[in-house]
Structure 1
Amino acid sequence: MKHFRNNHLYLLCLAVLCLMCACESFVEVEVPNDRITNVTVFSDDATAREAMDGVYIQLFNTAFAAGGNQSVSFLGGLSADTYIVTNAVPEMEAFAAHQPEATNSLNLALWSGAYNTIYMCNAILEGGVDNSGLSPETREALEGESRFIRTFTYFYLTNLYGDVPLVTQTDYTINALKARSPQTEVYDLILEDLNRAAELLDTGYPDNDRTRANRFTALGLLARVHLYLENWEQAETYSSEVLAATDLYELPDDLNTVFLANSPEALWQVSPEGWGGTFSHTRDGNLLIRITPTGSPVSLSENLMQEWEAGDLRQEDWIGSFNNAAETYYYPYKYKIRYDASGGDLSEYSMLMRLAEQYLIRAEARTRQGKLEAAVADINAIRERAGLDTLVYTPALTQEQLLDEVMQQRYHELFSEWGHRWLDLKRTGKALEVLEEVSETDLLYPIPEAELLKNPNLTQNAGY
């Protein structure tokens, strides 16, 4: 696996990021968001590339993306009843009960981490896109990757908070007073950025390291965005293009290999290189794998544990258990390493996007268009890998039955990953039906109070 921990490149990446941030480090998620005030001008291709690499490294430390207890994956899992809180942590319990307050520090960290990521991307766009000192190839790569990461971040912000400020430059005096933009405008930027990224990015992965975005990563997110916008034909088209790239991507037969570094299923991953020391484990594994009664703050919910088909290999390979005299705790076991301080090879990367989702996107898009037989083929790719009997298409199969199957497969395939279950329940209008004691105003997280106090033009979501 590629390593540059504790060497010149890693230090240079951090140094460039510090230059980009006028006041404070990007990993300080609690600091005010709008602190990039000057344009960084990169002196050459090498410096620019190292700065972009630094952004990828810092994603591992940015609350919303890191996989820890302030991340989309964790907080979205609490909201969707994927987890139950087993340690008395009031701020986690508030998310599980759909009652996070505007003062909740986990919520603030998620919001701030997302905007810090956006500001890093904006700084690179301003410092690199029109920089005549860089080669055309480097300028295109910087623009494509920065636009992709920015829009990936906005996708989660708008789906978790609704209308959000659109920040596309680094001037603190402007950013500090930004009002919330309607979600339609946020999606306009998302589509603009993704379409541009897809034009600019290459199809491969340098050094076969899947921690950088490429053209198929952008197309995969375009497929997801169009699914959320109910543009079924476009969702099918973009997912089909990703699924056709069989020289790059495949579903590994062994479920235990899916989350390994540079897995052939990975569209995009984040490396534990961001620890900056000798740690080689992911934050996801460190948080969720339980080796003592209090070793993790959560356990998988009873609802999730009761809904598996007999013989589903995902239940066997992706769920672990810890037993004591009083209780059995179940936990996600997609990542197998809880802690490793050996400084050895990085055998697991955190997964941000993977191929199985593209099969499920296309299956849903095809079902919505009435292409049921083709949708069954996509669902069967997932079922077969999970060790389940394949579905047989018959004219008696209804669209509603097949949509239910798609949602069930999304639940079992993507549990504990990037809030998929929470966002699926919301976008399909099922959240109030499936989750207990959830009201319409619980479907969006509160705008953090700290942000409201700093910016008089921000408004709060209803119900908070």
Structure 2
Amino acid sequence: MKPIRYITILLLLPLLFSCEDLIEVNPPEDKLIQDVVFDSDETATSAMDGIYNQLFLAEFSSGQRSSVTVLSGLSGDNIKFINPNTSTAMQFEQHEILPDNNRNLEIWASAYNVIYMSNSLLKGLQESRNISLEVKAQLEGEARFVRAFTYFYLTNMYGDVPLILSINYEENQLLSRNSSSEVYDAIIADLKIASEVLSPEYRTGERTRINKYASLALLSRVYLYLEDWQMAETISSEVINESGTYELLDDPNLVFLANSREAIWQLSPIGAGGSITQTNEGSLFIIDPIFSFFASFKLNEAFVEKFEEQDNRLVHWVGYNEGMNASFPYKYKVWSSNEFPILEYSMVLRLAEQYLIRAEANAEQGNLTEAINDLDAIRSRAGLDLITDTNPDIGQEDLLSTILNERRMELFAEWGHRWFDLKRTEKANTVFGPVNPYWEPTDVLYPIPEDERSKNSNLSQNPGY
């Protein structure tokens, strides 16, 4: 791609995709911007690439302090604050989130900004006559995926949320909340279209763009959350069976490298637009021996103690800072870097989750042998004894509990999996009720930000806030 053209598109993106700025642009100028951005395959592709860059920057998806990974990680019982009195993020750990919490607002606002960007691109693709059908289909699939992906996290954090599918800001700013079932219907519709139109290949050759299998991977997760066990099993199998592209890696140290064969979708630090080339998760979670005073987060020691001694994940994915007597997530090894090629990309979707999805779906259907086989695939990589050998006659309830625990040990410090697992399996009250004096059953949902409700009187608040 020509550098001058790419820079031009990036300069146009804020005008095209910012809700507030768009109102201030006169219609003829707006039409001109649309015409330029969607004038050719190259410029339209650059616009989509700008959305990927924004995902690395947007608070909810960045892996930084106001991201899903951090805040929902705090809401689960894996990650804790080192200095609990210094940040509004502590409210997420205590399950005492105030409606005016600025980090909560950053999640909500950044997610809806990405949705607006996706809607803008979809509208531009629909109206353009200068983009080839092949490129139009590919970019439509990618934009629909990003929209579905973002709504997945919004509805799992907030429950009912406004379902915005257009760029009519005057209408959108007064929308009331749609039911989570309506949101899920829209997510499934987008992902089904995406999986039909997307290529099985990665557009740039790197796993930082969405392909058919990334769309299917998210769709299998959606069906798992909706307890459609058969569909979750079927679709996860389609991803797992793509063995020419994906595989579980024997060495845990290789999993989070850029374009690893376990990666289904990653975000590149290049999206930050500067010289920094490490992931946000690496710079945030690693407690560097020299610069430990920067550290804000650590692993809950009660969680670390749950690892079996021979578990390879404890050896390779859990770091320890002796001076602070603190364990920390060490899935990413690079704390600070400006070197190329980039060694690590931020992991969003990976194959291990698909094995765990299929294991749970099979267990729920009573297919215990198949479920054990998938669970053992994960345990084998971790160096643990196999259920096939130690407990082949395990019952359904115990197997489901084992799978849920394996999800915790495998997916910690990744996109809030533990928090969402406790919510969807209705175990949050059991886990937090006895140990957290602040806990109330309504805490499973975050509050709708006060700032957003002050702008839109049609936005109702979640119970308990």
What TM-score do you get using the length of structure 2 for normalisation?
0.93
Note the 1:301-312 alignment, pairs <5 A. Answer: 301-312=300-311
- Maintained 8 Å contact 2:56/2:62: yes
Quick one: which amino acid aligns to residue 74 of structure 1? V
Structure with more helix by fraction: 2
Match of 1:443 in 2: 444
Match of 2:386 in 1: 390
Match of 2:236 in 1: 239
Q: Deviations for 1:75-101, whole angstroms, at most 9, x for unmatched residues?
A: 011000211111232312111100111
Alignment partners' CA distance in 1, 2:178 and 2:266: 30
1:12: Cα distance to partner?
Answer: 3.3
Q: 1:207 to 1:139 in 2, by over 3 A?
A: closer
Quick one: which amino acid aligns to residue 306 of structure 1? E
Match of 1:380 in 2: 376
Quick one: which amino acid aligns to residue 294 of structure 2? G
Quick one: which amino acid aligns to residue 71 of structure 1? S
- Maintained 8 Å contact 1:363/1:378: yes
- Maintained 8 Å contact 2:19/2:113: no
- Maintained 8 Å contact 2:5/2:43: no
Q: Deviations for 1:283-302, whole angstroms, at most 9, x for unmatched residues?
A: 10111111244322111002
- Maintained 8 Å contact 1:262/1:349: yes
* SS, match of residue 265 in structure 2: strand
Q: 1:265 to 1:11 in 2, by over 3 A?
A: same
- Maintained 8 Å contact 1:208/1:262: no
- Maintained 8 Å contact 1:256/1:334: yes
Match of 2:453 in 1: 452
- Maintained 8 Å contact 2:60/2:110: yes
User: What is the aligned-residue RMSD (CA, Å)?
Assistant: 2.0
- Maintained 8 Å contact 1:77/1:83: yes
Note the 1:363-442 alignment, pairs <5 A. Answer: 363-392=359-388, 396-435=393-432, 436-437=435-436, 438-442=439-443
Q: Deviations for 1:344-378, whole angstroms, at most 9, x for unmatched residues?
A: 21111001100000000000000000000011110
Q: 1:349 aligns with which of 339, 345, 349?
A: 345
Quick one: which amino acid aligns to residue 296 of structure 1? A
Match of 1:60 in 2: 56
1:274: Cα distance to partner?
Answer: 1.5
Q: 1:12 to 1:380 in 2, by over 3 A?
A: farther
Q: 1:81 to 1:395 in 2, by over 3 A?
A: closer
- Maintained 8 Å contact 2:122/2:143: yes
Q: 1:22 to 1:260 in 2, by over 3 A?
A: closer
Q: Deviations for 1:126-160, whole angstroms, at most 9, x for unmatched residues?
A: 00134221110111012111100000000000000
- Maintained 8 Å contact 2:18/2:113: no
- Maintained 8 Å contact 1:38/1:171: no
- Maintained 8 Å contact 1:226/1:235: yes
- Maintained 8 Å contact 2:320/2:326: yes
Alignment partners' CA distance in 1, 2:204 and 2:18: 33
Alignment partners' CA distance in 2, 1:13 and 1:355: 34
Q: 1:184 aligns with which of 176, 181, 184?
A: 181
- Maintained 8 Å contact 1:267/1:355: yes
Alignment partners' CA distance in 1, 2:13 and 2:160: 29
Match of 2:219 in 1: 222
* SS, match of residue 73 in structure 1: helix
Match of 1:195 in 2: 192
Alignment partners' CA distance in 2, 1:425 and 1:147: 28
Match of 1:333 in 2: 330
Structure 2: gaps spanning 5 or more residues: none
Alignment partners' CA distance in 2, 1:118 and 1:207: 23
Alignment partners' CA distance in 1, 2:295 and 2:281: 11
- Maintained 8 Å contact 2:18/2:117: no
Number of corresponding residues: 449
Match of 2:81 in 1: 85
Q: 1:47 aligns with which of 28, 43, 47?
A: 43
Q: 1:459 to 1:139 in 2, by over 3 A?
A: same
More displaced stretch, 419-428 vs 130-139: 130-139
1:38: Cα distance to partner?
Answer: 5.3
Quick one: which amino acid aligns to residue 340 of structure 1? S
Alignment partners' CA distance in 2, 1:384 and 1:293: 34
Give me the identity figure in percent: 46
Q: 1:152 aligns with which of 149, 152, 159?
A: 149
What TM-score do you get using the length of structure 1 for normalisation?
0.93
1:164: Cα distance to partner?
Answer: 0.2
- Maintained 8 Å contact 1:38/1:170: no
Alignment partners' CA distance in 2, 1:211 and 1:350: 9
Q: Deviations for 1:196-246, whole angstroms, at most 9, x for unmatched residues?
A: 111110101134200111110111111000000000000000000000000
